[in-house]
Amino acid sequence: MLRGYLRKDGRKGIRNYTLVAYTVECAHHVAREIQYPFRDKGVHLIGFHGCAPNDYANQMMQSLCTHPNVGAVLIVSLGCENLNKELLEESIGKAGLPVKTITIQKSKGSRTSILLGQEWIQEQIEILKEVPTVHMAVEELVVGTICGGSDATSGITANPVIGKVFDSILAQKATAIFEETGELIGCEHIMAERASTPELAELLIKTVNKAKDYYLKMGFGSFSDGNAKGGLSTIEEKSMGAYSKSGNSKIDGILKPTIQPTTKGLFLLDVVPDGDPLFGWPNANDNAEIAELIACGSHLVLFSTGRGSVVGSAVAPVIKICANPETYDNLSEDMDINAGKILNGDTTIEKVAKELEDCIIDIANGNLSKSEELLHQEFQLAYKKFNKLEPGCLPG
């Protein structure tokens, strides 16, 4: 049994964070100055840098600010941007969360806005200390996964470990989300064999083909110089490793960013924009994808890495599973799980999977991940465009 925070909509969070959310880059500095003194007290900074309107950004900000891990939100606006701060404030209020908006152009400038914001944050920290916890079952957990800084060991150790854990928590009726359709190229037909319906099988193939076409138009694939230097030779080889994170359970549906699963089960998150490229890179970095997993309801994110990555995230804990024993030796203070010892013959995939599952329970119960201990709270939100889900993507 876990402990959680009950929200007005019936969902439960594993954290009780306060967010400072800026609505344009022009308000970023003021928002950061408000948040920084409280960064070790569960106050996180998120925001959208753009000024031009974008439905995706509006929806992402609404989903993140009403995430079950969030207990209160301070919105910091310049005043003339296009992100709909009124709708954002309304959505947060409807979710039953304390919310306040500071508009710099109406608050006598930066210094006054910072002081007003810090006063409100201090009040909320004290209020949130009194929020009671409730019992939470494993089946209420939503767990996302991503890999970053992959090398030739990722698909041999860390990713199969995550796949084993997914199968285990799914058997306990939890919800699991995997993504990176640009790194599933070549695995689409294998993946389709696990679809819960023939219609979903076709849509899984279509989703991966969309990613392949998008990257062709962009002139590059989801394959970095670091992947090659780490021993990966092709996108197909990388894909097989990335695919293994999903385990062997049946796939119940496809999501797009901010879409919440409608039932328990295993879901593929499609993070590649629809239509022709409009805004540049489909995923500028791992934190853009982590944010999308969180916006779909993930309470925490499993992050496998072979080359090594030190990032965490705002809004939800990140658990690092290191695939390479040499990388673990170099970055042990940033890694939660050493899957590289499988490669050394010191243990098995099954034993490390049990270690990771225990780690998930500990962190869901309030213990800090390594990235949380180090105050990693990275966040990235860019421009994207998505169409509505096609019929057959979700169960029922």
- The pLDDT tens digits for 287-330 are 999 999 999 999 999 999 988 999 999 999 999 999 999 999 99
Query: 172 and 83, same structural domain?
Result: no
Query: 171 and 100, same structural domain?
Result: no
Q: What is the pLDDT of residue 220?
A: 67
388 found inside a domain: no
Residues in contact with 159: Cβ distance below 8 Å, sequence separation at least 6, in sequence order: 147, 241, 242, 244, 245, 304, 323
233 found inside a domain: yes
Query: 233 and 110, same structural domain?
Result: no
The pair of structure tokens assigned to 309 is 């990555």
Query: 190 and 90, same structural domain?
Result: no
pLDDT > 70 in the chain, percent? 94
390 found inside a domain: no
Query: 274 and 152, same structural domain?
Result: yes
Query: 166 and 280, same structural domain?
Result: yes
379 found inside a domain: no
The pair of structure tokens assigned to 6 is 């009950």
Domain count, the chain: 2
Pairwise CA distance, residues 12 & 68, whole Å: 6
Minimum mean pLDDT range among 91-100, 110-119, 240-249, 288-297:
240-249
The pair of structure tokens assigned to 381 is 């939100």
Q: What are phi and psi of 69, to 5 degrees?
A: -80, -5
268 pLDDT above the threshold of 60:
yes
Query: 130 and 245, same structural domain?
Result: no
Please state, as a whole number, how many other Cβ atoms lie within 10 Å of the Cβ of residue 138: 17
Query: 282 and 170, same structural domain?
Result: yes
Tens digits of residue pLDDT in 192-210? 999 999 999 999 999 999 9
Q: What is the pLDDT of residue 121?
A: 98
Mean pLDDT, rounded, for 352-378: 98
163 found inside a domain: yes
pLDDT bucket at 278, cuts 50 / 70 / 90 = confident
Packed helices 286-295 and 55-65: angle between N→C axes, nearest 10 degrees = 60
Query: 220 and 272, same structural domain?
Result: yes
Q: What is the pLDDT of residue 241?
A: 62
Q: What is the pLDDT of residue 151?
A: 78
Q: What is the pLDDT of residue 182?
A: 81
Buried b / exposed e over 336-369, threshold 16 CB at 10 Å, is: bbbbbbbbeeebebeebbebbbebbeebbeeeeb
Q: Which of 242, 369, 358, 357 is nearest to 316 (CA)?
A: 369
214 found inside a domain: yes
Tens digits of residue pLDDT in 25-80? 999 999 999 999 999 999 999 999 999 989 999 999 999 999 999 999 999 999 99
Query: 164 and 86, same structural domain?
Result: no
Query: 142 and 250, same structural domain?
Result: yes
Examine the fold and report which residue of 110, 134, 158 is the final residue of a domain before the chain moves on: 134
pTM to 2 decimal places: 0.95
**Domain range spanning residue 119?**
2-134
Examine the fold and report which residue of 85, 101, 134 is the final residue of a domain before the chain moves on: 134
97 found inside a domain: yes
230 pLDDT above the threshold of 50:
no
168 pLDDT above the threshold of 50:
yes
CATH of the domain at 54: 3.40.50.2300
pLDDT bucket at 219, cuts 50 / 70 / 90 = confident
380 found inside a domain: no
Calculate the average pLDDT of the chain.
93
Q: What is the pLDDT of residue 216?
A: 84
Query: 83 and 24, same structural domain?
Result: yes
